[in-house]
Amino acid sequence: MSVHCRRPADAKFLKGNLVSTENKAGLGALLTPEESVLALIDHQPFQVANLHSHEPTMVVNNAVGLAKAAKVFDVPTILTTVLEERGGLLLQGLQDVFPEQKPINRTFVNTWQDERVVDAVKATGRKKLIIAGLWTEVCVAMPAIQAAGEGFEVFVVTDASGGASKEAHDMAVRRMVQAGVTPITWLAVMSEWQRDWAREKTVPGIVEVLAQHGGASGVAYAWETQLLATPTGNEV
């Protein structure tokens, strides 16, 4: 099947999307700490109170787990809120991970239209932009779609994000995928950052994060650790 481009702009758009598609497969498509930058958007009381796509406490748990994982791997993390004087301050659990960082408080609904946020992301020099936030259909989808169109490889952490309804969240994810954004879960992000258990420096940190926020996976891992540490009676 041939593709007909009516004007140069169409060809440029098609070429750009083909390049983007090439980045979706192979080892280079996986996340590394050195290439990643994380943006946590609008995890605030008002948004949580109107979160209906997921169980709210699960989303909060996952967002905090993601933030802690980013800190373990020294991944630059940008915190941002919208109209915090009305919607409330950043959730304390997230602020506690980065106590020294003051969230960028915006008026723009679309985070990517706030130059302070864009400048902070670009200052890292990293092209794999990981986004999680509330709500998926508004304050996540807008910047994800725009940033993807500006050359960033955008990953949206769907289980650390949520929408005003399940349909709103699901449709937003579908729309972002059509724009070239990659959906991912927070444990997958952490796993790709670690990649190799021989990277011993970060193992204690991710084990702690997993135990605190990994749910059943964390319980299972803690049990395995206990079993491995239990004397068998055959020790020399």
Please report, to the nearest 10 degrees, the dihedral formed by the alpha carbons of residues 177, 137, 183, 128 taken in order.
90
Residues 23, 16 contacting (CB under 8 angstroms): no
User: How far apart, in Å, are the Cα atoms of 55 and each of 52, 58, 96, 147, 164?
Assistant: 7, 5, 22, 28, 11
Tokens of 113: 């239209």
Angle, nearest 10°, between helix axes 186-194 and 56-72? 20
Buried b (16+ CB within 10 A) or exposed e, 160-174: bbbbbeeebbeebbe
Which residue is catalytic, options 38, 75, 139, 147? 139
Q: Which residues pair with 38 in a beta bridge?
A: 77, 130
Of 85, 87, 82, the C-alpha closest to 106 is: 82
- Is 5 tagged catalytic? no
Sign of CA dihedral 213, 73, 37, 98: positive
Q: Are 181 and 155 in contact (CB under 8 A)?
A: yes
Active site residues: 139
